[in-house]
Amino acid sequence: MDAPYVHKIFTGKVKQMGHEGAEDRMDRPWNSGIFKQEAQGERWLGKTGFMDDEVADTKNHGGPEKAVFAYPKKHYEFWRSELDLDTISVSAMGENLSLENADEYHICIGDTFQFGESVIQVSQPRQPCWKPARRFRIMDFALRIQNSGRTGWYFRVLKEGKAGAGMHLELIERPLPQWTIAACNEVMHVRKEDLRAADDLASCGLLAENWRRTLTKRLRGQQSSVEKRVFGPNKS
């Protein structure tokens, strides 16, 4: 596969939606940074993300290990067909980077790229939450994203600097070729009884701490439910 190509960059401020007292839970108040706009020109990329980009839920989103969210552009063709929804297109998942020539089977934990002046490193797959479901009023959308494996992934920023759309991501290092994003998703969401695989993945120092913590709990016999994450306040 050719080098990943940054098709577009998206950033956005936290937006407030919904109204108090709505009968339908999908219409009740919620805040999110998922509604992003295309960023023009080169942007400053710092340790916690692009300048002028925000997240609403700072406990579960953002921070150094989730500084940049990347999503393959090609996945939207699948979602338009799967959901019978012509209006879903790039930036709908709240991604910062819309990428070509990259997917979950070809990107690995620890992959380190030169991106303009910056250097970024893959930290973890994305675990979808209830907000895309609220945006498109599809209750099980987060589960569909998770089960499809079309999750996208996060980068941490090793070196700050300016970067922009129309650039290739130049691979500097690939220390963990066995741990593609697809392989990580399979261990986390499909092969839940495979403790050896969970132990192997949890041992990867370049995997984000929150993923390693979840896998370590699994090894101790503690399985956590995904209900709160994927349905949240959308479901009673």
Per-domain residue ranges of the chain = 5-231
The length of the chain, given as a count of residues: 236
Is 209 a residue whose pLDDT tops 90? Answer: yes
Here the tokens at position 118 are 């910056």
**For residues 159-192, b (16+ Cβ closer than 10 Å) or e, as one string?**
eebebbbebebeeeeeebeebbbbbbbbbbbeee
Reported confidence tier of residue 224, pLDDT bands at 50, 70, 90: confident
Q: What percent of the chain has pLDDT over 70?
A: 100
CATH topology of domain 5-231: M1 Pyruvate Kinase; Domain 3 (2.40.33)
Here the tokens at position 66 are 């989730």
Strand order in the sheet with 112-115: 37-38, 5-11, 97-100, 68-72, 153-159, 118-125, 112-115, 170-173
- Judge residue 209's burial from the number of C-beta atoms within 10 Å of its C-beta, 0-12 exposed, 13-18 middle, 19 or more buried: exposed
DSSP-assigned letter for residue 147? H
pLDDT of residue 191: 94
pLDDT, tens digit (0-9, with 9 covering 90-100), for 11-64: 999 999 999 989 999 999 999 999 999 999 999 999 999 999 999 988 888 899
Is 1 a residue whose pLDDT tops 80? Answer: no
Q: How many helices (H) and strands (E) does the chain have?
A: 7, 13
pLDDT, tens digit (0-9, with 9 covering 90-100), for 119-165: 999 999 999 999 999 999 999 999 999 999 999 999 999 999 999 99
Arithmetic mean of pLDDT, 211-230: 92
Reported confidence tier of residue 225, pLDDT bands at 50, 70, 90: confident
